[in-house]
Amino acid sequence: MNDNEKNELKDEALEAVSQVKDVIKNIDVKEEAEKTKGFFAEMLANPIGKMRSVANSGSSLLTVAIIILATWTAAVFVRSVLSTLMRTWRFADVIPRFVNIITSTLSPAFIVLILAIAVYIFYKDKVKQFMPILITVTIASAPRALGAVLSVLVTLIPTSNMVIGSINAFLYLISILLVYFGIKALVVEDNDESFFKNFMKIQCVYFVARIVLGAFGISI
* Contact in structure between 56 and 187 (CB atoms under 8 Å): no
pLDDT of residue 71: 92
160-196 burial, b if ≥16 CB within 10 A, otherwise e?
Answer: eeeebeebbeebeebbeebbbbbbbbbbebeeeeebe
SS3 83: helix
Stronger pLDDT, 23 or 104, i.e. the higher one: 104
- The conformation of residue 91, written as its DSSP 8-state character, comes to G
Q: Which of 73, 151, 143 is nearest to 113 (CA)?
A: 73
Altogether, the residues listed in the chain come to a count of: 220
Cα torsion 13, 219, 121, 193: sign:
negative
Q: pLDDT tens-digit profile of 28-39? A: 667 777 777 788
Q: pLDDT tens-digit profile of 187-207? A: 876 677 888 888 999 999 998
Q: pLDDT tens-digit profile of 138-185? A: 999 999 999 999 998 888 888 888 888 899 999 999 999 999 999 998
